[in-house]
Structure formats: C-alpha cells, structure tokens
C-alpha cells in the first residue's frame, strides 16, 4: 500500500486529503477480502439490532469465553471459539515453517483486548459527568440558590440536559451509539494490539498493511468468519452472518435470526431504572457537598428584601424516596422521554412531547414496562440517514414539567 500520512494532529484540510489517500489505496487483496469500517459504513455494527436500537451483551459471565493467551481477553463464546481456530491455524503455519515465528501472524497467539463491559464504562462516565458538569452547574451562584429540594434539583437538571446533550449523551442508550463508545462492547471484536493509534495512518501502513505476512494474517481471519477493521487492522471483527460464524452459533443453539434476542439486551429497558438510581444519588451527593443555601427574604407584596436566611437542605432518605418518587412511574417515563428526545435532537413542540408522554403512560398502565420502553424508543429513535439531511443543531422547544 502507498504511504499516506493522515494523523489526528494534522489540520482539517491536509488530514482529509491524507485520509482519502488511505481509503483509496487500501486493497482488498487477491481474495477480495471484506472489511469493517467503524468510521463510516459500519459505525454501530454489533451495538444495534435490526430496528437500529442500541444493544449490549446480556451477561458477560454466562456468554463470554476467555480467549487463549496470557491476558484476560474475552469475547462472545462462539467468537472466542472461532478465534481459537485462527490461533490453531497460525500455530500450524509456524510449526511447519511456512511463515516466520516472529512476524505479524504470531501476534494472533497473544490477543490484547476483547469484550469490555459497557455498564462499567457507563457507570464511570456518568460519575465523571456529575463531577465535571452537573455539580459545577448546580453549585454555580446563579443556580445554587434555586435548589431547595429534590424537585428543584430535577428542574435545573432538565435545563442542563437541554443545553449539553447536543454534544454529549446522558442515557446508556445514547452513550452506546456515541463516539464515546467502543466496538469492544459488542463481544464480537478481538484486538491483537493495544498500543497502536488508529488515527495514525503511517504506523498502520508500515506495521500492518505493508507487512509481508499481512495477506496471510487477513486470510487466516477470513477463514474463520472474521473481517479486519479497515482503520484499525489489528482489530478482528466477527461477521455474524458468515457461514463460519453461523455454524459455530449452532453449538450454542442460536442462529442469525435469534442472535440478538438470546445474546443481547435492549438498553432502552434500563434507561428509566438508571435515571431513578443516579438522580437520587446525585441529589444526595450535591446536598452532602453543599448542605445549606442562603435565600432572600420577601417583604410586603412579595418584594425581595436585602435580608437573607439560611435553609438547610436535607439528604433524601431511602424511605422518603420510595414513598414520594420511585413509585411515580409516569414521572420517570416523562423524564426519560424528555432526556432521550433532547439527546436524539427531536424537533418537537410541547404538544408532541405531552402526547408521547401520555401514550407511554397508557402502554405502562394497560400493557407493561417493556411495551412502554419500546414505544419510547420508537418515538425518539433517529431515522437512518437523518443526520445527512437535517441540520445537526436544530432544537425542539418543548420543556419538562412534572404532571
């Protein structure tokens, strides 16, 4: 492959020129190998189902197998089996002297990264969001004096959501589909390199694509149903509809049609429970950090005076939360719809927001939670290709109020 010099450190125009060279020069080889392109065509492969809803592996401990090697690398069980076959093939080629034991292919014997828990990463992400964004906003002079209790905290939280979710997600569902996510969440990916940067084209070309063993390495992967990530050639991605993978799936009583149902969960099912947990935690953390607030006194005819008084904010007990808040399902559905609609940039008016909220509450009352969550997801989901035809920074004018 011809050298190109695309890099994250380059200015926009030369970077685009060099990236274009990389794309144009990338060869599929004599065997016309398929590839995965997580930058463009296959951005959410392994993290969405056929309805384009965000998904994640249902249970790491049950569905994941350890990949052979010194490190703690895991993948979905049938993916780990397929990778073990690659390793066996590589060992045989090295044993008979067909290839060098110190070349690119030998790296397959020591995989570096596999499945990562999206739940653990999301937990860390939301905590950092509180520390770096939510608390600074709530504790600012302008906002702090407006928060006397949990309803006030929620009101200010929704104002913050309206301001920030154009640039960063809040819910697990949107986090999975954002650029903060990683293909490793899917359980379909195994990497043989944990130091190279996919943003640096020169290293990718010199270390992988122009390596004398690259074609052998790529063929070994293809033989077992894997494709390389075009922009990270050390990343092997299981192609679930390949004949090799579907054969291995049968061992675990799963097929192409039932894969997502048996191995994955819809993230929309946990967005509301996450809201319930984190907002209570965040409020109590905020009160613990700033337990009292000074507010102005009002005189005759409701006029603000120069006098103030100190009001102590109380930590919300579990009993109080259970009695007054957790059981108010319509409130949490409405709040979830508000956040998800802001995240996905729905150009709604207040009537549309209220209408969706009311219908979700009807699903909850007359069907069940799952039906309500699926309805919400259908309403807020971005249609495929929407980002190419609609301006990114449009914003609906709906607001949140507790009904």
**DSSP per-residue codes, 228-276:** EETTEEEEEEE-TTSHHHHHHHHHTT--TTTHHHHHEEEGGGTHHHHHH
Two structure tokens written together for 207: 């270390």
Q: Which residue has the tokens 């291995």?
A: 248
pLDDT tens-digit readout, 121-149: 999 999 999 999 999 999 999 999 999 99
Nearest Cα neighbor of 343 from 185, 219, 213, 167 is 167
99/248 same-domain check = yes
Domain of residue 67: give its range: 12-47+62-116+182-254
Residues 147, 289: Cα–Cα separation, whole Å: 13
205/137 same-domain check = no
Q: Is residue 2 part of a domain?
A: no
289/175 same-domain check = yes
Whole-angstrom distance between the N-terminal and C-terminal Cα of the chain?
62
385/284 same-domain check = yes
Better-scored residue on pLDDT, 6 or 172 = 172
CA distances from 42 to 183, 237, 264, 279 (A): 10, 11, 18, 34
379/248 same-domain check = no
Break the chain down into helix, strand, coil percent, rounded to 5: 50, 10, 35
| Residue that terminates a domain, selected from 222, 254, 286 | 254
Q: Confidence band (pLDDT; 50, 70, 90) for 71? A: confident
186/166 same-domain check = no
Q: Is residue 55 part of a domain?
A: no
137/67 same-domain check = no
| Residue that terminates a domain, selected from 196, 221, 254 | 254
How many Cβ atoms sit within 10 Å of the Cβ of residue 40? 9
Residues 65, 60: Cα–Cα separation, whole Å: 9
CA distances from 310 to 97, 294, 316 (A): 81, 4, 19
pLDDT tens-digit readout, 297-330: 665 555 666 667 888 999 999 999 999 999 999 9
Residue 237: the pLDDT is 98
Q: Which residue has the tokens 């570096």?
A: 112
29/123 same-domain check = no
144/112 same-domain check = no
211/321 same-domain check = no
- Segment 273-301 shows an average pLDDT of 88
Q: Is residue 218 part of a domain?
A: yes
Residue 305: the pLDDT is 63
Share of the chain above pLDDT 90, in %: 76
128/168 same-domain check = yes
Q: Confidence band (pLDDT; 50, 70, 90) for 97? A: very high
Q: Which residue has the tokens 């729905």?
A: 346
User: How many independent structural domains does the chain possess?
Assistant: 2
| Residue that terminates a domain, selected from 202, 227, 254 | 254
27/97 same-domain check = yes
Residue 40: the pLDDT is 87
How many Cβ atoms sit within 10 Å of the Cβ of residue 140? 11
């Amino acid at each position: 492959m011809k050298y190109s010099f695309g890099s994250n450190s380059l200015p926009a125009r030369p970077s685009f020129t060099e990236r274009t060279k990389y794309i144009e020069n990338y060869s599929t080889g004599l065997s016309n190998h398929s590839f995965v392109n997580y930058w463009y065509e296959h951005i959410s492969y392994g993290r969405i189902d056929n309805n384009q809803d965000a998904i994640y592996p249902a249970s790491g401990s049950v569905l994941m197998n350890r990949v052979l090697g010194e490190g703690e690398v895991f993948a979905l069980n049938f993916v780990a089996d397929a990778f073990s076959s690659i390793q066996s093939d590589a060992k045989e080629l090295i044993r008979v002297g067909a290839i060098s034991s110190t070349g690119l292919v030998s790296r397959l014997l020591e995989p570096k990264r596999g499945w990562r828990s999206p739940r653990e990463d999301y937990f860390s992400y939301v905590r950092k969001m509180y520390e770096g964004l939510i608390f600074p906003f709530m504790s600012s002079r302008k906002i702090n004096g407006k928060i006397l209790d949990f309803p006030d905290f929620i009101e200010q939280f929704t104002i913050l959501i309206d301001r920030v979710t154009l640039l960063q997600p809040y819910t697990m569902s949107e986090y999975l589909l954002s650029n903060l996510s990683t293909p490793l969440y899917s359980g379909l990916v195994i990497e043989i390199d944990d130091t190279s940067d996919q943003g640096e084209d020169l290293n990718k070309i010199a270390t992988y694509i122009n390596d004398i063993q690259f074609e052998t390495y790529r063929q070994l992967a293809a033989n077992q149903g894997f494709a390389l990530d075009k922009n990270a050639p050390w990343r092997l991605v299981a192609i679930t509809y390949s004949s090799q993978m579907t054969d291995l799936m049968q061992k675990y009583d799963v097929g192409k049609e039932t894969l997502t149902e048996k191995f994955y969960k819809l993230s929309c099912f946990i967005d509301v429970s996450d809201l319930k947990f984190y907002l209570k935690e965040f409020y109590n953390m905020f009160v613990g950090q700033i337990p009292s607030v000074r507010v102005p006194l009002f005189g005759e005819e409701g006029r603000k005076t120069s006098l103030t008084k100190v009001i102590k904010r109380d930590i919300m007990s579990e009993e109080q939360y259970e009695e007054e808040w957790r059981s108010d399902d319509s409130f949490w559905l409405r709040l979830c719809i508000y956040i998800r609609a802001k995240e996905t940039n729905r150009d709604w008016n207040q009537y549309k927001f209220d209408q969706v909220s009311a219908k979700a509450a009807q699903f909850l009352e007359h069907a069940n939670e799952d039906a309500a969550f699926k309805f919400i997801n259908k309403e807020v989901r971005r249609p495929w290709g929407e980002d190419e035809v609609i301006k990114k920074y449009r914003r609906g004018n709906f607001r949140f109020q507790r009904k």
